[in-house]
């Protein structure tokens, strides 16, 4: 474990991988979190300081706990995805072809709202713009 850390938060692990050239990659992971159905890893780049990797993962863990973290791409409903295009901005995207009609809409999520509140706002905007559109579950 890096010298600047005494203890890791719950669900976060410190990992190393030895490369063929003898160098060691250091990175962190969030594993087993009830709000995350997969393992989330920090960057493994040796150009990024380990302290920066730790702070990035600590931020993601905090956002997970507060229901404000979404993975880079996540599909909520058929045709609706969320992209994390910036560490501080999430984008909800509607891309759907229905009855020969193409529907497309984007919305930047409000960081002060939860995931479900942002989704409600997005669905309201979709229905006001495309009242004929029927969105099905995945």
pLDDT by 10s per residue, the chain, length 138 = 888 889 999 999 999 999 999 999 999 999 988 877 778 889 898 899 999 999 989 988 888 887 666 555 555 678 888 777 666 678 888 998 888 899 999 999 888 887 778 888 998 999 999 999 887 765
Q: Say how many Å lie between the first and final Cα of the chain, rounded.
A: 41
- Reported as half-sphere exposure (CB side, CA atoms, 13 A), residue 4 has a value of 7
Give, in order, the Cα–Cα distances in Å from 2 to each of 6, 36, 47.
Answer: 8, 25, 16
Give DSSP secondary structure letters for 29-92.
EE-S-TT-SS-EE----TTS-HHHHHHHHHHHHHHHHTT----SEEEEETTEEEEEEETTEEEE
Residue 83's nearest CA partner among 107, 53, 56 is 107
Tokens read off for 133: 């559109």
| Residue 117, H or E segment | helix 115-129
pTM score: 0.54
pLDDT on residue 138: 59
pLDDT on residue 86: 66
pLDDT on residue 125: 94
């Amino acid at each position: 474990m890096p010298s600047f850390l005494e203890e890791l938060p719950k669900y976060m692990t410190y990992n190393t991988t030895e490369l063929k050239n003898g160098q060691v990659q250091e990175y962190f992971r969030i594993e087993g979190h009830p709000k995350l159905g997969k393992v989330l890893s920090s960057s493994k780049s040796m150009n990024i300081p380990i302290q920066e990797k730790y702070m990035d993962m600590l931020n993601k863990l905090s956002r997970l706990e507060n229901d404000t973290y979404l993975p880079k791409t996540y599909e909520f409903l058929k045709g609706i995805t969320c992209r994390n295009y910036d560490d501080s901005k999430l984008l909800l995207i509607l891309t759907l072809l229905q009855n020969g009609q193409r529907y497309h809409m984007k919305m930047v999520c409000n960081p002060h709202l939860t995931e479900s509140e942002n989704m409600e706002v997005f669905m309201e905007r979709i229905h006001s713009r495309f009242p004929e559109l029927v969105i099905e579950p995945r």
